[in-house]
A and B are shown apart, each in its own frame.
Chain A
Amino acid sequence: MEISEHLFRRESGRMVAALTRIFGIQNLAMAEDVVQDAFCRALEVWRIRGMPDNPSAWLMTTAKNCAVDALRRERTARTFEPELSRFLQSEWTLAPAVDELFAPSAIKDDLLRMMFSCCHPRLREEAQVALVLHILCGFSVDEVASAFVSSHSAIEKRITRAKKVLAGSKKLFDVAAGAEFSVRLPAVHRALYLLFNEGYHGASPETAVRTELCQEAMRLTALLLEHPLAATPTTHALAALMCFHAARLPARVDGSGNLNSLFDQDRSRWDSNLMAEGQRLLDIYAIGSELTEYHVEAAIAWVHATAGCTEDTDWGHIVLLYEMLMKIRPSPVVALNRAIAVGQHQGAARGLEEIRTIAGSDRLASYPFYFAALGEFELRDRRYETAQEQFRAALALARSPMEREFLARRIDACKSAAPV
């Protein structure tokens, strides 16, 4: 029997989330141990006997049994949630109580509860993202490190620290508390957005790894859409944005694994179903009183999506949208994108002018695409030498073999365009 891809990872997230509710957030580590245990047992049986028909249910039952064992062992050494502590006093009530806590209706909100808990205000954004990926998506420390192109020890430190904050927060986030929910929701949006971006623009040389990050972000966003309090216009805008970008993923990398800029992408390879889904989400559900960066970014992606080719793109509209984005969430990267759009709209000279006047451009000094953009416009204005220099500067900053290959090809383009 075939197992669906990444099934274990997803089940891991569900089980840790469910067990943490049962054990209490202060016992997160114990929940993780129990899940580890359940996987070991499953593997020991399955490797010889083969997979059961419903591996998810089997895993959950195994986790439940491991949980009862762990509770028996630990009941005097730890403090549990008051409700559970009462049942723990008697062996007779323990197993039925755990059964009830594992009922499907109870598990339903666990992922959401954990997602909100991971986006704790005392955690920095990158810690929140790492935690979401680790706990909810079942990525090991090594896998998180490789997805973020970071060292094992750096990620381990980040996750360990974050878990301490989480364990110290006394209780899991209450998804039924309306007011707190709305206050925490933007942080959750942001974490999912960053997770998606790490997949879309991230530094991992493995396309497969980056695609997985995008998929995980979309899966968690879909969970938000299922919850009445979380399915706000902003969540829909975020989901739409992810759809538009994900639709372009297949064309972003060509057959030989080379990065294609938006300008060179084969638009027939964009996923039309995802495009349509993005448009539906944006048109019908994203309308509300609040205009967020996700709305604007989704609108930008939509303008690109509806243009048949680079030349047909309504660059004037895109410039306006980037100006709007600068008001909502100003950053040098947004300013750079605006400048590029101006260049597309009004010519390379204007683009160069805009890039050079970006406030805080020193913060772009390590961003390869800052120099690549300069190179692109210099090339268009036929200053081949200068263009090459810019691309070389970009190349020196490239973060992955794919980026290096892309920039090397741009340098070749300068060479072959230059008059001999």
Chain B
Amino acid sequence: MSEYVFLYRGGENGRSPERAQQMMQKWMAWLKDLNQKGHVKDQGQPLERSGKLVKGSQKTVTDGPFAEAKDVVGGYTLIQARDLDQAVELSKGCPIFEVEGAVEVRPVMKMNM
């Protein structure tokens, strides 16, 4: 088994409370399913959409923006999968695609020491 990080990018959360609730329930169902199948190593954390950007040799501090709103990472989950193909397949069930968001699937580097 290898580890992968799912980075959740963008995604409109639905313009109505009912829609938000439906999205919510889909997310919970999706992660629950992954969990039951033993794919969730760490369910991860949500990230604030703002913060500070520290950059350059001068260590200039700015208030972002980090990326276009549609590309901001809103959270992550640590996943276990056989290989990258399987991790990609698992990501396809994420409800974020219904709201024009994206999942970035990144293998965690293996250290063979």
Contacts and interface: CB of A to CB of B under 8 A. Distances in A.
A40 B44 CA distance: 18
Q: Is the interface of A mostly helix, strand, loop or mixed?
A: helix
Contacts of A143: 16, 18
B80 to A, nearest CB: 17
Interface in A28-82: 36, 39-40, 42-51
B13 A40 contact: yes
A3 B17 contact: no
A375 interface: no
Contacts of A45: 46
Given A43-B13, A44-B13, A140 B19 contact: yes
B2 interface: no
A312 B20 CA distance: 49
B18 A140 contact: yes
Given A138-B16, A140-B16, A143-B16, A47 B21 contact: no
A47 B75 contact: yes
Nearest to A138: B17
Contacts of A7: 21
Contacts of A6: 18, 21
Nearest to B96: A47
A43 B23 contact: yes
B20 to A, nearest CB: 5
A39 B20 contact: yes
B74 interface: yes
Interface of A: 1, 3, 6-9, 11-12, 36, 39-40, 42-51, 138-140, 142-143
Q: Which 5 A-B pairs have the closest CB atoms?
A: A140-B16, A8-B17, A47-B27, A8-B21, A12-B17
Given A12-B17, A138-B16, A143-B16, 16 more contacts: A3-B24, A8-B24, A11-B17, A39-B13, A39-B20, A42-B20, A46-B27, A47-B23, A47-B24, A48-B43, A48-B76, A49-B45, A49-B46, A140-B15, A142-B15, A143-B18
